[in-house]
Chains A and B, each alone.
Chain A
Amino acid sequence: QITLKESGPTLVKPTQTLTLTCTFSGFSLSTSEVGVGWIRQPPGKALEWLGLIYWDDNKRYSRSLKSRLTITKDTSKSQVVLTMTNMGPVDTATYYCAHRRPDSSWFRYYFDYWGQGTLVTVSS
């Protein structure tokens, strides 16, 4: 059974750096074609894709946020870490990590298991 859970601060101040950890079970990020993505959702608004890390450490980032994002993995701990710099009020959102449905195609970004999400508020 695949599960994922996000953890990290619920409140960050403007200009600070956000670090969120996704701890997962039921799969290994060393297995071919596996990936873990990050998606966020501002309150009452739509989903926004942030980025993804693959089993082979390749990464893909949202073009609009690329300069602020870093995604890393610790395979031994079954964790993926999202870092987002220079946080602002517009970054207030629920942040989800999700398991990418394994596929050999680099074009298929389907998320079949999701964490419960963690609400991050940016405020001074």
Chain B
Amino acid sequence: QSALTQPASVSGSPGQSITISCTGTSTDVGGYNYVSWYQQHPGKAPKLMIYDVTNRPSGVSNRFSGSKSGNTASLAISGLQAEDEADYYCSSYSSSITVIFGGGTKLTVL
């Protein structure tokens, strides 16, 4: 497996909530609670938003939350704001290749 599976794009209006899924296998997402999410604005470096499936680093808005069920992890964003428009990547520990990223999801705030 070369990458975790994410939807190419999602969209929502300001104030709404959206969810981005990240599907892997039992050797990565499903086998470990070591999932993280990164936000990347155009031309910028990624920013860690969620780690250990559900934890937020200091300074990250509580509008961002993570969860996992089976082989699929999810990132939820509530109260969408224009500044949330970015690319989002999930990542997981993998027993086969150590670290695996998702293909990325472009979030558009309408």
Contact = CB atoms under 8 A, between A and B. Distances in A.
Interface of A: 37, 39, 45-49, 52, 60-64, 96, 98, 101, 105, 107-112, 114-117
B14 to A, nearest CB: 27
Contacts of A116: 45
Majority SS at the chain A contact face = loop
Given A46-B89, A107-B34, A108-B93, A62 B48 contact: no
B75 interface: no
Given A107-B93, A112-B57, A47 B98 contact: no
Contacts, number: 66
Contacts of B34: 105, 107-109
B64 interface: no
Nearest to B48: A112
A15 B53 CA distance: 40
Contacts of A39: 46
Interface in B46-69: 46-48, 51-52, 57
A107 B3 CA distance: 18
B20 interface: no
